[in-house]
Amino acid sequence: MFRLSDVLGGKGTPEEPQKSAGAKPTAPEPSAEPAPPPPKLRPETARALTSLEALYDKLLACVKTLFAQARTNQPLNLSEAQASVAQLPQVKDERCEVILMLVGRHSDENYLYSHSVNVALLANHLGSCLGYAGEPLTQLVLAALAHDIGMAGEAEQVAEAPRKLTQEEWKTITQHPQESVKRLKDAQQLSQEALEAIASHHEREHGQGYPAGAQASALNEFAKILAVCDVYDAMTHPRSHRKRYSPAQAIKVLIDGVGDAFDRRVVKALVDDLSLYPRGSRVRLNTNEIGVVEVVHPGAPLRPVILVSHDANNTPLAEPRRVNLLDQPFIYVKEIVTDADGDAPAPP
């Protein structure tokens, strides 16, 4: 039997999902409601967010330039992107909250622009958590920033089609990793490991994915990191053909895919740092009370601080109260709540 503790390590908790070995991960229904408003920012978090917002915009401008160069078949120049990536700071204890807020952005101009920057920020964060630093970390983040450059042109138009793709259109989509590598190899600014990661980040641990079935042993760690970051960000943003998933729903899908689709070590790093229940998630406790996750404890992803807003009968409280699950061993998160009135929990 698979247990959440297999990913997180340590003792399990009563609310952990179980599934039969070998069962395919089942994606929950996308959230039909907008994300709940996050709690008021702490001063240190607000400062960290402000310091990264300008850099986010610089990275976004770099991506736009790269896509424009690719569409017109100009040589790609990653120098400006590399300089911006090198400026990414360590945000210390507040960085997980800041990263989640920044990657919550979505470009109305072109989904692929913000997606590329979001994947790069997540890769920088996870890469740091996994021990990367200096030039290897820079190469990982540059690979993330440019991983979809092969979509520029026909493929990006196909990807926005609000319908099921034809077989020929899907073939166009599945060719974009190789097209990205072709364009970036000519630029001669990425390492071989970074290029291999871009080529294979849509492969999966069990040998499926696209463009062809590589085995897990053929995937380098860069590719495994990009796969998790790419899927997390794609799921948590609306697309023309589906609604968004909540961060908590997306993380559960990644956990369900451990061993079959995603690397255990990478998913564990994401869950440990961003939490199974990210800040701002609406949850129901085993007491049937409903609240919003206010604080995530690093290293204790199942025991956040909850700002309880509704009692067990779903009646709003006159004064919300805080419950620190680290101090309440018999209270735990029962399920994720996705609708506006709290009566429809997310599928397990």
According to DSSP, residue 258 is labeled B
pLDDT at 29 over 50: yes
Tokens at 6, concatenated: 């297999």
Residue 8 has pLDDT above 60, yes or no: no
Q: What percent of the chain has pLDDT over 70?
A: 72
| 17 or 132, greater pLDDT | 132
What pLDDT, on the 0 to 100 scale, is given for residue 246? 78
Distance CA 86, CA 55 (A): 11
Name the DSSP class of 133: -
User: Where does the pLDDT of residue 36 fall: very low under 50, low under 70, confident under 90, or very high at 90 and above?
Assistant: very low
Confidence of residue 160 (pLDDT cuts 50, 70, 90): low
Cβ neighbours of 193 (radius 10 Å): 15
Task: Read off the pLDDT of residues 231-248 as tens digits, 9 standing for 90 and up.
Answer: 999 888 877 667 778 777
Three-point CA angle 119, 160, 252, nearest 5°:
45
> 165-186, pLDDT tens digit by residue?
777 777 777 888 888 998 898 8
Half-sphere exposure at residue 172, Cβ-oriented, CA atoms within 13 angstroms: 16
DSSP 325: G
Mean pLDDT across the chain: 78
Tell me, what's the pLDDT at 139? 95
The C-alpha atoms of residue 110 and residue 122 are separated, in whole angstroms, by 19
> Tokens representing 219?
């995937």
Coil, helix or strand at residue 324: strand
CB contact at 8 A, 281 and 247: yes
Task: Report the distance separating Cα 144 and Cα 127, nearest Å.
Answer: 11
**pLDDT tens digits for 314-325?**
999 999 999 999
18 Rama sector, left if φ>0, alpha if ψ -120 to 50, beta otherwise: beta
Q: Residue 286's pLDDT band (boundaries 50, 70, 90)?
A: very high
Distance CA 84, CA 48 (A): 17
How far does CA 58 lie from the centroid of its chain? 21
Q: For strands 290-297 and 282-285, give the pairing.
A: antiparallel
Using only the alpha carbons of the chain, give its radius of gyration. Answer: 20
Sequence ranges of the domains in the chain: 1-35+277-348, 40-243
The widest CA-to-CA distance across the chain, in whole angstroms, is 62
If residue 90 lies in a helix (H) or strand (E), which one and from where to where?
none
Taken in order 244, 275, 91, 307, the sign of the CA dihedral is: positive
Cβ(205)–Cβ(263) below 8 Å: yes
**8-state DSSP, 52:** H
- Topology adopted by domain 40-243: Hypothetical protein af1432 (1.10.3210)
**Beta strands 2-3 and 316-324: pairing type?**
unpaired
